[in-house]
Amino acid sequence: MISRNVLIRSELARELSSSRVDHSQSVARWASVLARLHGADPSRAERAGWFHDLAKEWRSSRLTAYVRAHKIAVPHLRLILAHKRAGLLHGYVSAHLAQRRGLVPDRQTRVAMARHTLGHVRMGLLDKILYVADFSSPDRRYAQAVRVRRWARRDLDEALRLTVSYKIGDVVQRSGFLHPTTVALWNALCKEQA
């Protein structure tokens, strides 16, 4: 009998390289652990982890065409395209594609998938888990991921704050485009801490 993970990996291999499939599996396992620790549904978290990057390796033109063809609501789409950052669309496209293929039937999981790159000013528990799990999954070896992993076990909100901080810092260091949704998330987190 073929295991569920083998079937999922086979589905992902239609769109992704083997290294990206490995990353997705790592995120799925870590998201499931975080869900158990923080009171979320582990199976939803795992499914979100498996399919969050389904369209990650698509070319910019394909992502853009897909968003337009399916009229997917992406915040500040014009800004994304003006700054030539179509890669930021992959979460929204992955969520939509997973729904169309019947891979992720529930809306809450798809919302977390859509939000895993840019975040959202009002992150739900599953949103936070996937956002943090993607940044800090065990296949990520950089120091910031290790630090976030430690925090994620005991304080998901602090792990989220650190993740957003690190992501913004990286974009600023590269003189890149900061998406308004991510900036709004950071400002909301700062307001909560005040």
> Which one, of 190, 51, 21, lies nearest residue 113 by Cα?
51
Element (H, E) at 115: helix 107-115
Residue 134, C-beta contacts closer than 8 angstroms, at least 6 positions apart = 27, 49, 52, 116
Q: For all residues of the chain together, what is the average pLDDT? A: 96
Q: How confident is the model at residue 49 (pLDDT cuts 50, 70, 90)?
A: very high
At residue 167, does pLDDT exceed 90? yes
pLDDT of residue 134: 98
Domain with 31, as residue range(s), is: 4-193
At residue 155, does pLDDT exceed 90? yes
Number of domains observed in the structure of the chain: 1
Question: What CATH number is attached to the domain comprising 24?
Answer: 1.10.3210.10
pLDDT of residue 2: 57
At residue 7, does pLDDT exceed 60? yes
> Structure pTM?
0.96
At residue 194, does pLDDT exceed 80? no
Q: How many residues does the chain have?
A: 194
Q: How confident is the model at residue 6 (pLDDT cuts 50, 70, 90)?
A: confident
